[in-house]
Amino acid sequence: MRKYFITGLLILVPLAITLWVLHSVISTMDQSLLLLPAQWRPEQLFGFKVLGIGTILTLLIVFVTGLLAQNFIGNYVVEAWEALLKRIPIVNSIYSSVKQVSDTLFSSSGNAFSKALLVQYPREGSWTIAFLTGVPGGAVAKHLKGEYISIYVPTTPNPTSGFFLMVPKADTIELDMSVDAALKYVVSMGVVAPDTLPQVKTK
């Protein structure tokens, strides 16, 4: 009995969590329907709520926004809008910080999470996986002697929280492992290992 129960849990728990996450994401994106007039919403048109229509609307809004921002007029509007936000004291600090992070994460030319690294953390002799995010710059770089890199050390099983560190490049080991494989390794707390052992690149 116990064996069958555990087997059932191993099958159903990941499926249930996956469905719950998808439902949460879709329900959140469905909130974009609130932008429509009440008479245009599915509840009024069909008499019942249709899950997922708001998600399609959200994706459409994102696509159209990106499309319009690529032309001259759209680019001018975006620049004017950002200039306006930067004039508002509290909004300026929040928007600028979020903008820098999003540009780093989503820009195709950015260095965010470009490489998986092996670093000693939180103490010498204890190793964990980190991700290269760039190099220190500005006033920070002036106080660092030698070649330093910026890294992100994720927590497990939730990699969206973690620690930002600036460490000597010589103290890190670059792994021959994709970022996706490294994230999967972190999220699973080391249970789901890569198909092949990570190969350490020679410096």
pLDDT above 90 coverage of the chain, percent: 18
Q: Where are the beta strands (DSSP E) in the chain?
A: 116-120, 127-134, 148-154, 162-168, 173-174
What predicted TM-score, i.e. pTM, was given to this entire model? 0.53
- pLDDT interval class at 132 (50, 70, 90): very high
Q: At what angle do helices 53-69 and 72-85 cross, to 10 degrees?
A: 100
pLDDT at 84 over 90: no
Return d(Cα 147, Cα 163) in angstroms, integer: 20
- Reported as a single tens digit per residue, the pLDDT across 168-190 is 999 999 998 888 888 888 888 88
- pLDDT interval class at 200 (50, 70, 90): very low
AA identity, residue 44:
Q
